[in-house]
Structure 1
């Protein structure tokens, strides 16, 4: 039976780990003691039968003095396995983008979601999801958000339909925290948000999430996604159509100042509901 890409990545991580451990003249038990796991845990990593974990990879780097080797491998080879195939290259493109424009009709974009909101999103579509799966998604999604903290962060411009503010995911306290988080990002000048009000009626790009990324020395790329599928598109004609849709959205959306006021108001409503319950 053919091995999956995931298995190949795990095995590669394990092979490198074994070589570096042996070069350091450490047994599996000795390395395990240094990173606070059992020898059996190290053995499973080296055999490629256990998925490497980021915190342990970082501890291994410290123990073996390998700089960021295992952390880098974990992020690039292992954590990418947690993403759907069609989305796997998007985080790398986001990190290289100079400008990102996003439209989200029903959910807060992944780059802005707080952990409790992420958990609520997952459970709404998969109520039997395991804790491990949920926390994997939380970790992967919050890792992506580091691009907004970087000094070279892209100009991030988001269009949210008012529905995003009104769907009570995770309860009132979670929604209050989620909207407060977005408001703080806006006030910290990490992004621009414009709300498409309900009374605007039909609007461009209402059929699914779209993400338009611009780069310093490469053509722009469009990512579009529905519930079960997504695609990266760099066809110039399709990208041009996407730009036209963003122009139409600016015509019907609230101003950034009015949008922030609406977010603050919704957050306050959720806070009152949370305190009353």
Structure 2
């Protein structure tokens, strides 16, 4: 018999909400399957909500309130859970946060930046300050924490299988100091060396290639169709149309074919990290004058 997993309601709003939901369901003497009967959701969906791993859709919350006779409690509070889950993240990213918890495989293309879960704090701060120059220190700290909390995607042995293609220019564009950039790239290499993800570098002189646009992520699941997510600086979009997602998956295969092999890519990342340690890129951080003074 599988041992019942306890829920730590003190861990945050989603787990508090989920624990209360489980308590009310069990108090009513209902199984998860019985509670979702008459809704459009399965018992596994409800199980993830009870564990705080998934947010409650409003229509399901209304259904639960009706069955459990909880006077609208879960419908009123599901917005609080949604806000808590996206703390430190953009609102449009909320669905991606939820889906990546369930993904079996993730394939990502980084044309200009290292993927968020692989970024270390100095790199994150540089990106955040460039994107939100008027933000407060507290807001920046929240974004740093939120991004580092997602490091498990690449660092956890139980995380999804991941494949990341990066444009070579990322290695030679120092967003932070030489020492910090060296540490950042060494971190990527160390995670990859532990076989947590497969890296490929697309050479700067490849020419025309698929995905000549913003960040793209493909996610596949064991119990649901694949999804594609694309992101700009202040917006993002999840695409679930099967035909469109299939097109993107084929394009990603062509992108991988154009990139360097994984081992050569990893060596290139490690070499760039060593160059930063040796100060090779130090002068690139110095701003050049717009025009030289004329005699």
Partner residue of 1:248?
A: 254
Deviation digits for residues 127-168 of structure 1 (CA, Å, limit 9, x no counterpart): 343211111001001111123343421111000000111111
Q: 2:212 aligns with which of 206, 209, 224?
A: 206
Partner residue of 2:225?
A: 219
Distance 1:209 1:120 in 2: 18
Is residue 82–residue 137 contact of structure 1 (8 Å, CA) maintained in 2?
A: yes
Count of matched residue positions in the alignment of Structure 1 and Structure 2: 210
Q: 1:203 to 1:76 in 2, by over 3 A?
A: same
Distance 2:132 2:236 in 1: 19
TM-score norm. by structure 2 comes to 0.66
Q: Structure 1: where are the runs of 5+ without partners?
A: 1-11, 18-73
Is residue 183–residue 264 contact of structure 1 (8 Å, CA) maintained in 2?
A: yes
Deviation digits for residues 73-119 of structure 1 (CA, Å, limit 9, x no counterpart): x9875241432121111122111100000001000000110111100
Q: Structure 2: where are the runs of 5+ without partners?
A: 1-11, 18-79, 284-295
Q: 1:252 to 1:76 in 2, by over 3 A?
A: same
Q: 2:269 aligns with which of 255, 263, 266?
A: 263
Which is richer in helix?
1
Distance 1:266 1:276 in 2: 13
Q: 1:123 aligns with which of 118, 121, 129?
A: 129
Deviation at 1:273, TM superposition (A): 1.1
Is residue 79–residue 140 contact of structure 1 (8 Å, CA) maintained in 2?
A: no
- Structure 1: which 4+ aligned runs deviate by more than 4 Å? 74-77, 274-277
TM-score norm. by structure 1 comes to 0.70
Is residue 131–residue 233 contact of structure 2 (8 Å, CA) maintained in 1?
A: no
Distance 2:207 2:181 in 1: 24
Partner residue of 2:243?
A: 237
Partner residue of 2:95?
A: 89
Distance 1:125 1:84 in 2: 12
Distance 1:153 1:207 in 2: 27
Is residue 173–residue 274 contact of structure 1 (8 Å, CA) maintained in 2?
A: no
CA RMSD of aligned residues (A): 2.6
Is residue 233–residue 239 contact of structure 1 (8 Å, CA) maintained in 2?
A: yes
